Amino acid sequence: MKHLIWILFLIAFALQAFHSKKIKDINTPEKWVSLFNGKDLGHWTPKIAGYKPGENFGNTFRVENGILSTRYDNYGNFNNRFGALYYDKKFTNFRLKVEYKFFGDTVAGAPSWGFWDGGIQYHCQAPATMGLDQPFPVCLEYNLLGSKEDNKRGTGEICASGMYVEIDGKRNSSYCTPPTVKRSFSGEEWITAEIEVRNGEIIHFVNGEEILRFKNPRYDTANAITKDLIVSNDNIVKDGYISLQSNSHPMDFRKIEIMEY
């Protein structure tokens, strides 16, 4: 009888502990973590076309007064030196929040589309796996676009480099797909872009509003670079690195935060 009472006591204790943990898990807010320390490029690696990972040609990426910037004042001519700044950790399921704005004008020799054009890349291949002259990684991109009164562009479109996704049940038919909800902003104002990734379901937000939803990213087996990224013939994309593009137009970033799920 004493053994039975003791067993019942242990069961009751275990149930109470489980219930308490469940309540705690429900009430505990999810935590945002800053990826940018506001002081330097710690944990970030530049990869610029024509240069090895870690070579910050022309001081393209710099931190001043708590702002992470891309600048081209030491370039002379852009000369297709596309690049990006990569965080040094892979992410799987997350919500990423980035505050950004454009600054000034494009550098000499910039592509015609480069004006007020940037990007947040995610599910990226590692910078160490990129070719020396490779301009863009295999990745998905939240395309950052500014607009003029005579040229309204919706920011937050999805661009798929070496990958494809499903939008409304169909494979994307072009490299970049415009957002479902079009929100246009002038280039030189602070905008909040967010990306949510949950088990293959992806949502783009701008200033807290959902603008695009898609799912099931996969490596494009017709792309020559992806053959080294596909393991055991499985082309489903489950994770990758995060990076900020340098596309020829100067940009500022003042907040880069992530919440992992």
What local confidence, expressed as pLDDT, does residue 255 receive? 95
What local confidence, expressed as pLDDT, does residue 9 receive? 52
What local confidence, expressed as pLDDT, does residue 162 receive? 97
Question: Burial, 142: exposed, middle or buried (Cβ in 10 Å; 0-12, 13-18, 19+)?
Answer: buried
Of residues 249 and 25, more confidence is placed in: 249
Band of residue 256 on the pLDDT scale cut at 50, 70, 90: very high
What local confidence, expressed as pLDDT, does residue 22 receive? 47
What local confidence, expressed as pLDDT, does residue 27 receive? 47
What local confidence, expressed as pLDDT, does residue 23 receive? 42
Query: Distance (Å, rounded) from C-alpha 209 to C-alpha 192?
Result: 10
Q: Of the candidates 190, 196, 191, 193, which has an alpha carbon nearest to the alpha carbon of residue 259?
A: 196
* pLDDT for 1 beyond 60: no
What local confidence, expressed as pLDDT, does residue 148 receive? 85
What local confidence, expressed as pLDDT, does residue 18 receive? 54
pTM score: 0.88
Q: Give the torsion through C-alpha atoms of 138, 140, 143, 144, to 10 deg.
A: -90
What local confidence, expressed as pLDDT, does residue 5 receive? 55
The whole-number average pLDDT for the span 79-97 is 98
Contacts (Cβ under 8 Å, ≥6 apart) of 158:
140, 141, 142, 143, 165, 167, 172, 176, 177, 179, 202, 204, 212, 214
Q: What is the mean pLDDT of the chain?
A: 91
Chain segment 91-131, per-residue pLDDT in tens: 999 999 999 999 999 999 999 999 999 999 999 999 999 99
Which CATH number is 31-260 given?
Answer: 2.60.120.560
What local confidence, expressed as pLDDT, does residue 151 receive? 82
Of residues 2 and 80, more confidence is placed in: 80
Band of residue 11 on the pLDDT scale cut at 50, 70, 90: low
Chain segment 31-50, per-residue pLDDT in tens: 999 999 999 999 999 999 99
Question: Which residue ranges make up each domain of the chain?
Answer: 1-26, 31-260
Most distant pair of Cα atoms in the chain: their distance: 88
Pick the range with the lowest mean pLDDT from 18-22, 59-63, 190-194: 18-22
What local confidence, expressed as pLDDT, does residue 34 receive? 98
